Amino acid sequence: MKPNDSRKPSYKKCVRAIQMFFRENLNLRKDESFLIITDEFAWDLSRRLWQIAIEKYPYTYVMAYSSHESRPKKADRLLAFIRNADVTLFVAREFPFLWEDFCISNDSKTRWAGLIGIEADQFIKLIDGDNKALEHDTQKLRDVLTLGKRLTIQVDSDHSLSFEIQHLTCTADTGIVQKYGEMSFPPGGRVLVRAVEGSAAGDLLINGSLTAVGIPRSPVRFLIKGGRLVKIYSKEDIEAFRALLRTKKRNRRTLVRVGIGLNPRGRMTGNTFIDERANGLVHLTFGDSADYRSHILNPTLPAATLKKATVKIDNKVILKRGKLVV
């Protein structure tokens, strides 16, 4: 007789992590409708989420679409389901379509979250921890950043980036949604800021990961002037990242977002969406003028991450060689 899979420690850990995710990150209640939207890449994780959810939350539903479609055939119906659900969870390889439509206004009754590019094993490692402490640390760093005027990122003595902070857009992405109209991208643990348009300038070495490329064997150099990425120097082929900067004939070279990761369970993986949350990692995200003015949590944009960076707010060090000091 084969052993019961439900008694395996890995299975128990998975169940515990998912139950905690429903309770602490989504604040899901038994009387609420819960919609899981997924593609074929994330079907394994979505199936586990549904199997555990349906036991306690009877109004749980799943909708699947193909990641090969730039826009799902029944996108309007999908949006209608989302707007009528109490909680929506988007589980997929990436978030390629209808981003602006998913930026639901605060008067909506829906709260939603996205698990993007995260596999089942990664989910368990990243979620199974002290979410309350992570939420506290993330909000504390957000408060520190809102008090400053200029942020400086330094990888070494020869390479740095500096810009003025747009205070109203400082965001703590805690990975937790509590109120209707809120959105987040678990696992939590990143603070996001937007530069005053045109103020960013510097010469920076990217020693982490690049969207669609992974982790290059040698650092890539970014030259940024007037808030735009004007030149990229690389010893190897990073055409996949360059292509994202000109997606659909849009010139996505404006520095849209800078973030600092705080999740102690995060590790450098090569997937920038996951790497953005890793403790001590800094990330830069690029877009065009429309992306610049859209929601700061926009998950569709190309990003680059830096490790062991030093970050200063008005010349006061808050991150030293990847270690938080505030």
pLDDT tens figures, 60-91? 999 888 777 666 666 777 777 788 899 999 99
Q: Is the pLDDT of residue 230 over 80?
A: yes
Asked whether 65 and 37 are in contact (CB, 8 A), the reply is yes
Assigned token pair, 186? 């678990």
In angstroms, the CA 43 to CA 64 distance is 8
Q: What percent of the chain has pLDDT over 70?
A: 90
Strand-by-strand arrangement of the 87-92 sheet: 60-64, 34-38, 87-92, 111-116, 183-184
Average pLDDT of span 183-190: 88
Q: Is the pLDDT of residue 1 over 50?
A: no
Each residue of 10-37: pLDDT tens digit? 778 888 889 999 999 999 999 999 999 9
263-315 tens-digit pLDDT? 998 889 898 988 999 999 999 999 988 888 888 888 888 999 999 999 999 98
Whether 4 shows a pLDDT value over 80: the answer reads no
**Mean pLDDT within 308-326:** 92
What is the tens place of the pLDDT at every residue in 121-170? 888 888 877 888 888 999 999 999 998 999 999 998 899 999 999 888 89
What domains sit in the chain, N to C, each tagged with a CATH number?
5-127 (3.40.50), 131-324 (no CATH)
Q: Can you tell me whether residue 209 is helix, strand or coil?
A: coil
Distance between CA 263 and CA 261 in Å, rounded?
A: 6
> Are the C-beta atoms of 183 and 113 separated by less than 8 Å?
yes
Residue 253: pLDDT band (50, 70, 90) is very high
Work out the mean pLDDT of the chain and round it to a whole number.
87
> So what's the pLDDT on residue 6?
44
pLDDT at residue 184 greater than cutoff 50: yes
Please state which of the ranges 46-50, 73-77, 173-177 shows the lowest mean pLDDT.
Answer: 73-77
- Confirm if 114 and 185 have CB atoms less than 8 A apart: yes
Contact of 275 with 210, CB cutoff 8 Å: no
Whole-angstrom Cα Rg for the chain? 20
Q: What does the pLDDT read at residue 266? A: 87
Please work out, in degrees rounded to the nearest 5, the angle formed at the alpha carbon of residue 291 by the alpha carbons of 147 and 287.
Answer: 95
Spatial contact of 208 and 281, defined as CB atoms under 8 Å apart: yes
Complete DSSP assignment for 64-79: E--TT-SS-TTHHHHH
Q: Is residue 306 helix, strand or coil?
A: strand
Question: Percent of the chain having pLDDT more than 90?
Answer: 54
For 107-116, what is the mean pLDDT?
82
Among candidates 270, 264, 279, 278, which has minimal Cα distance to 304? 270
Residue 233 has pLDDT above 90, yes or no: yes
Token pair of 158 as six digits? 């020869």
Strand partners, 203: 160, 223
Whether the Cβ atoms of residue 36 and residue 46 lie closer than 8 Å to each other: yes
DSSP 150: E
pTM recorded for the entire structure: 0.88
Query: Residue 262: how many CA atoms within 13 Å on its side-chain side?
Result: 28
pLDDT at 108 over 80: no
Answer yes or no: are the C-beta atoms of 322 and 309 closer than 8 Å: yes
Please say whether the beta carbons of 117 and 93 come within 8 A: yes
Cβ neighbours for 145, distance < 8 A, ≥ 6 positions apart: 151, 165, 170, 191, 193, 313, 318
